[in-house]
Structure 1
Amino acid sequence: MAEPKQLDDCNDIKDEYLQVEDLSKWNFRPSEAVMGCSHDMVGIRGVLDYVMSHLNPNGKSKIPLGHGDPSGFDCFRTSIDAEDALVEAIRSGKYNGYPPAVGLPRSRR
């Protein structure tokens, strides 16, 4: 089996996409804005860097929203009570399916 092709940048992705023979069967075309994007604006990191670098320098501190995985920060740890509630709900077997279409009575109050 052949190795999957690595697509290294935005232009490779665009070129690969445009080689698909019959795009009309999908009735879907790519956004011109996305297809013309620069490589560093494709991922969330590029978008966050762009936003943070274009903020109004008014002396206020910035809240960094791009930390990613919160597990590296103790202040974002899930409380023991929440963990215990999840374990109890899973072990009870009461929530192994879909709720009634009208919703759960406790949630509707």
Structure 2
Amino acid sequence: MQDSKEKQCLIFVRNNANDTADRIEAYAKKSGMKVVETIFNTDKKAVERLRYYIERDVIICVLVRDVVDISMELNEIKAVMTLAAEHGISINAESRGYEPALISYE
């Protein structure tokens, strides 16, 4: 399965953030990544869909503008980031120069 997810990413942005999505998609393509899907965070189902991709190991990273685009709830952000780490998937934030976002367990 490793070969099928090589260089595949998921983009996750806030609702109605079309310009942000376009900008991140352009970065992904420039970096040689295939965008599996761009998810707009419109409701709880968006985070469920994000979890779906992480749990199935079909991507190598999630590209976001900032981790707060995942959720405004710190516990939910930590849960998603922990799940991603368990699956070897990084969450890379544009606000950090696309470096992997880090989670504090304090």
| Same fold by TM-score greater than 0.5 | no
Higher strand share: 2
